Chains A and B, each alone.
Chain A
Amino acid sequence: MLAFISRRLATAVVMLLVIGTIIFSLLIIVPGDPAELLLSTGGGSATPEAIANLRSTMGLDKPVLVQYATFLYDTARLDFGTSIVDSGSISSAIALRLPRTLEIIVVGAILALAVAIPTGTAAGLRAGGRFDIAASAVNALLTSVPGFVVGTLFIYFFAQVLGWLPAGGYVAFAANPAQHLQMLILPSVTVGLHLATIVFRMTRASVLEMRGHDWVRTAVAKGLRRKRVVRRHILHNALGPIITVVGLQLGILLGSTVLVEFVYNWPGLSGLLVSAVEQRDYPTVRAVILTVAAIFIAINTVIDILSSLLDPRIRLQ
């Protein structure tokens, strides 16, 4: 077991190094000069002298290999440095924004699981029944509507027409808890909707498969109560694939809540990444991607270890 875990961790470190190098190289290839961009934001143009001065302030006049070595050395010490645009600390920007992205993902995931597992189970147990047909139809509809469309519609109805909720934005929980929760509702429901469709499908399929197994028939034949059969013998076994999918989806969501954050003006990690890419703020882009990658790899590693605990066959593969 220990060997399995250390092998996993070593792989994770190598993957991070590879990812860091790829991002570093890609950013060099991508056209666009951060100094020139910053000085031409206003639609104006800057003199070559002004651009050269700013490039030197940003540290972009150093040789690429020196920049790469500095990047690796600093990253290894977990020092992400400062933004070349506004000289703010990148670590504190990430520390500020990561929890907000996690907040909408976690709240969204809780909502999704709370709705999708019971409905998915019900649909799977009575596959082909009226409830299954209706739920599957709604699910198909929701799957095919992208998050930003849902977001735009939500804003239109709940903010503009009904006036129940703010159109978007963010207020810290400590500053105003009620307003914070109001602003949290729409983004997390939007994230949750997408996740719910996936969890619903997985649950339904998994339950459908499990309920046909011999041990379920045996359990029923033994005279166990329905509730117990569903919980112990069907759901318990069906949960494996669901956990894997939810775990992977959470990792993917970290990097892909960008549209939801944009539509609702939720200042999370994705928004930081997008504005950093637009401004060619290289150190910030690298730091955010590495953070997301690290979390993704961590989630995968944990899932692998969990699965190997549940199913020893995995350890031997």
Chain B
Amino acid sequence: MTPSHLPDFNATRRTVLISLSAGVVALAMPQGTLAQTAGGGVLKFGLSTFPPTLKPFDNTGGAANTVKLMLYRGLMGYDATGKLVNEIAESVAWSNPTTAVFKLRPNAVFHDGSPVTAADVVFSLNEITKQGSSAYLKSDLKIISAVEAVDDKTVQITLKAPSAIFLDLLASYCCPVISAKSTDSDVIGAGPFTLKGSEKGVFIELARFKDYYLSDQPHVDGIRFIAYADENLRYAALAAGDVDLIEYLPWTQFDAVEASKTLKMKTTLGPFMFLLFNVTDGPFANAKVRQAVGYAIERQDVVDAAFAGRGVPLYGLPNPKGSPFDLSDPAHEWKYDVDKAKALLAEAGYPNGFECRLLATATYGMHQDTASVVQAYLAAIGINATLDLPDWGTRVTAGKEGKYNIAVHGTSGNYNDPDALWSLLYSGNPSYLQSFGFKSARIDGLLEQGRNEVDPEKRKTIYQQLVVAYYEEVPQVPLNWRIQAYAMKQSVEGFEQLPGFLSGSSAYALDETKLG
């Protein structure tokens, strides 16, 4: 007998059986644990990332802003259609173009039970503008010259100049009213939900605040935010019924949701993709070369390759959906035209093209895919771009320090007005959101005029001039609007995606969301 005839299969069989039965037992465990959502009244919301912080005045990303809007509210807000509405303010009256008087809701209370007073509003605005703050709206709110508590429930705000968008700033997720008793580690807000529990990186659990100033809202008893960093898993979690609602539905899953009987989605044209240039030296210092890039790219291909067709080409100034002005001006747009692009390059002195570095990031697939399409189209007019795809953190620093020739970026404004492009176009400190070294007194002047003018007709004329200046000076080359989607179970009712640049403020609609 040779050793090869020795195997003892009993042990194997036993082991296999034991493992199999363990698996069966686990699978047979009550499925009720998986289907807890129905009837519980707690909305399970799949976030794209875990909020790095919930500091009320800092902007630390879309996920953080969503949670913040549930915990804190400001004087103003938006309804589900994107219209400005009063939140903690019961009424607003402009006694002159630079003085606004806000009456606070008599029944507005903080989560600790104390009433929201004018002193708290003064405290909150001062927290934003004070020396040493890292608040997102610090420079925007420098327009305030004085905030006074007239009485317990009345606040008067005086501005240094008239502002068409001041109330939009007050409706921002970075401008909440918090209690003057708040500390860095214990922020007391007056939002529709209170913080019940959380674990870093995993979940945040909120409970309905029963003394919220709108007595009929919110409709759900609580919200459990669960972070799913992988977009496909986020969708899988929705499809499997683990969560009720997800943000940032991946573009590749739009078809699946449309075909599904159990899921639905709400979409808007929100953020947009664009190219930035280092204009301090080299060919891109010449506006003609930047215009040539504008004409060289077939934008539908970017939409198809990077966004599964879920986007719309953008040929000129990115005026958001929901903007009060129609600024379309086909004479000042870059439609795909290779001959024109080549002619402009020749005119600028580069008939044979040149070499350059194209910066994007490997962290976000859409940035990387956009860069690949752009690279191919640039090659067609003789511009040979080498892709540089570091991680996001490195990309932000490289953008700010001008370590690139062309860069791909995508972002959104904060409200539906051309003024929302301020942080992208107004020259100031170096920022990864702007072309490195680009400065235009003409564009800066138009932005200032538009912000300080309150007459809509005059503002429209100013922004029409901005469209022309944008086309001629090329601070950026726009590529496309992205369709942004929230996906949810059919049974989720009342949730709407806010239009255009307000997409990131859609959490306001959670107040009216119901679980069917």
Contacts and interface: CB of A to CB of B under 8 A. Distances in A.
B6 A42 contact: no
Contact of A118 (B12, B59, B241, B432): B12
Contacts of B410: 43
Nearest to B29: A178
Given A93-B200, A278-B363, A42 B12 contact: no
A86 B50 CA distance: 12
Interface string A112-123: 001100110110
A160 B433 contact: no
A223 B363 CA distance: 65
Interface stretch (B128-136, B276-284, B330-338, B371-379): B128-136
A254 B174 CA distance: 39
Residue with the highest number of chain B CB atoms closer than 10 Å, among A40, A51, A114: A40
Interface stretch (A31-39, A292-300, A302-310): A31-39
Given A46-B134, A211-B3, A265-B230, A41 B59 contact: yes
B423 A125 contact: no
A229 interface: yes
A179 B135 CA distance: 41
Interface in B8-34: 8-9, 11-12, 15-16, 18-19, 23, 26-27, 29-30, 33-34
Q: Which residue, of B27, B50, B201, B433, has the highest number of chain A Cβ atoms within 10 A?
A: B201
A247 interface: no
A40 B233 contact: no
Interface in A250-272: 262-265, 267, 271-272
Contacts of B394: 30-32
B26 to A, nearest CB: 5
Contacts of A54: 134
A234 interface: yes
Contacts of B8: 226-227, 230
Interface stretch (B60-68, B107-115, B144-152): B60-68
B397 A33 contact: yes
Contact of B239 (A115, A125, A167): A167
A147 B401 CA distance: 38
Interface in A158-181: 159-160, 163-170, 176, 178-179, 181
B393 interface: yes
B501 to A, nearest CB: 11
A263 B230 contact: yes
Interface in A173-199: 176, 178-179, 181-182, 185
B241 A163 contact: yes
Interface residues of B, number: 78
Contacts of A279: 52, 393
B98 to A, nearest CB: 24
Contacts of A262: 229-230
Contact of B9 (A45, A85, A122, A216): A122
Given A167-B237, A167-B242, A45 B433 contact: yes
B236 A211 contact: no
A176 B240 contact: no
Contacts of A129: 4
A100 to B, nearest CB: 10
B391 interface: yes
B7 interface: yes
Nearest to A227: B8
B393 A32 contact: yes
Interface string A203-239: 0000000010000110010000011011000100000
B397 A36 contact: yes
Interface in A42-66: 42-51, 53-54, 57
B202 interface: yes
Nearest to A113: B15
Contacts of A96: 199
B398 interface: yes
A155 B242 CA distance: 12
A70 interface: no
A264 B185 CA distance: 31
A267 B198 CA distance: 13
Nearest to A179: B33
A176 B30 CA distance: 12
Interface string B388-400: 0011111011101
B236 A167 contact: yes
A45 B432 contact: yes
B397 A44 contact: no
A262 B134 CA distance: 31
Contacts of A230: 6-8
B50 A275 contact: yes
Q: Rank and list the top 5 A-B pairs by shortest CB-CB distance, nearest first.
A: A32-B393, A41-B61, A118-B12, A45-B431, A42-B59
14 contacts: A38-B58, A39-B59, A39-B60, A47-B139, A86-B52, A119-B12, A155-B236, A155-B240, A168-B236, A169-B226, A226-B5, A230-B6, A234-B3, A271-B201
Given A40-B396, A118-B11, A164-B27, 10 more contacts: A33-B393, A41-B52, A48-B429, A167-B240, A179-B33, A181-B29, A185-B26, A262-B229, A271-B201, A272-B201
